[in-house]
Amino acid sequence: MAKDPKVEFAHKQSAHCENGVISNLMRHNGFEISEPMVFGIGSGLLFSYLPFLKVNYAPVFTYRSMPGFIFNKFAKRVGIKMKKEKFKNPKMAKARLDENLANNTPVGLQVGVYNLLYFPDEYRFHFNAHNMVVYGREGDRYLISDPVMEIVTSLSSKELEKVRFAKGAFAPKGHMYYPVSFPEKLTLEKAIVQGIRQTSRDMTAPVPIVGVKAMRWVAKNIRKWPKKLGAKKANHYLGQIVRMQEEIGTGGGGFRYIYAAFLQESSELLQNNKLLDLSKEMTSIGDAWRDFAVDASRIYKNRNAASNGYEDIAIQLEAIADREEKFFRTLRKAV
């Protein structure tokens, strides 16, 4: 009887799923790369406001680049070749997964969160851009290293099929990915500079839907929402900002802390003390985002009945935008 395929895979918990999958797959293949380094080289930090795209009946506010973007950019910049596949047929998707596991190849999967049974109920919502690693199978159960979980877990083949073929925005369509070749040695210095330059460009871009301009547009709209939408809908929209900041992935404040850690690590590799100073400033900006989230949540939970509540948090967001614009212009010059 054939033995069930199981790869010796070292699970390590991380703050965010996509960074964690990359870091864990890199470690499995002999390259010790931290989660912050993956995030920074992959230009993961962003702010974007997409009022024309609705999730849970409210506009999309995102604090990171599009799903898959971090992995693609990281791989390209450090010289890794990736194999990526999507499927129309769940049986074909299962067969390809089983084939990789039989070849001792752990794979990254993009899945929907709503039907991940090992998640607490409060974290299961319709979001289809979560990432995990499948590293083996025991009978009908697939062995899973989900980077946001403390320990490894498992799903039955039916349960795994359900999350791999979740419906809705960013439907994963069985998306599977894994590295197929590596350079002899990873040279990070050039990749770090490329990552920093792109993030700095994106955050100061002259378009209204990304970067600091998007933050200012959101602040402008926050002021209008109570009169334009009514209290109930305005509160729902405000709740969406906070939810996407603090609950989806690791959010605005958390991503700023990860980026600060990336700059600290990069300052040593590049022998650049300016990056260490900027790391401290980014940590402070992350604190400001957290304060913004706390104050906004008081309003939509009706703990702050003051009529100027929306005005106050709009001012806070504009202050963060000013700080981030100055920060990223300085950062770009620093490298």
Of 181, 206, 233, which residue sits at a domain end?
A: 181
Alpha carbon distance 289, 292 (integer Å): 5
Cβ-Cβ contacts under 8 Å for 262 (sequence gap 6 or more): 36, 37, 39, 40
pLDDT at 270 over 70: yes
pLDDT in tens, 188-241: 999 999 999 999 999 999 999 999 999 999 999 999 999 999 988 999 999 888
Stated pTM of the model: 0.88
Average pLDDT over residues 249-264: 82
Do 159 and 195 lie in a common domain?
no
Do 161 and 278 lie in a common domain?
no
Domain that holds residue 155: 17-32+81-181
Q: Is residue 168 part of a domain?
A: yes
Average pLDDT over residues 158-183: 92
* Block residue for tokens 């404040």: 253
Q: Is residue 50 part of a domain?
A: no
Q: Is residue 272 part of a domain?
A: yes
Residue 300 in tokens = 């939509």
Do 127 and 275 lie in a common domain?
no
Question: Sorting pLDDT into bands at 50, 70 and 90, what band is 1?
Answer: very low
Do 297 and 202 lie in a common domain?
yes
Domain count, the chain: 2
Q: Name the percent of the chain lying above pLDDT 70.
A: 96
Q: Report which DSSP code applies to 121.
A: G
CB-based burial label for 124 (10 Å; 0-12, 13-18, 19+): middle
Number of H helices, E strands in the chain: 11, 8
Q: Is residue 232 part of a domain?
A: yes
Gyration radius of the chain's alpha carbons = 21
So what's the pLDDT on residue 184?
87
Of 163, 181, 199, which residue sits at a domain end?
A: 181
Q: Is residue 117 part of a domain?
A: yes
Q: Is residue 323 part of a domain?
A: yes
Alpha carbon distance 137, 250 (integer Å): 29
So what's the pLDDT on residue 163?
96
pLDDT in tens, 75-119: 999 999 999 999 999 999 999 999 999 999 999 999 998 899 988
So what's the pLDDT on residue 248?
57
Do 226 and 167 lie in a common domain?
no
Do 167 and 312 lie in a common domain?
no
Query: Are 260 and 279 in contact, with CB atoms under 8 Å apart?
Result: yes
Cβ-Cβ contacts under 8 Å for 290 (sequence gap 6 or more): 246, 253
So what's the pLDDT on residue 15?
73
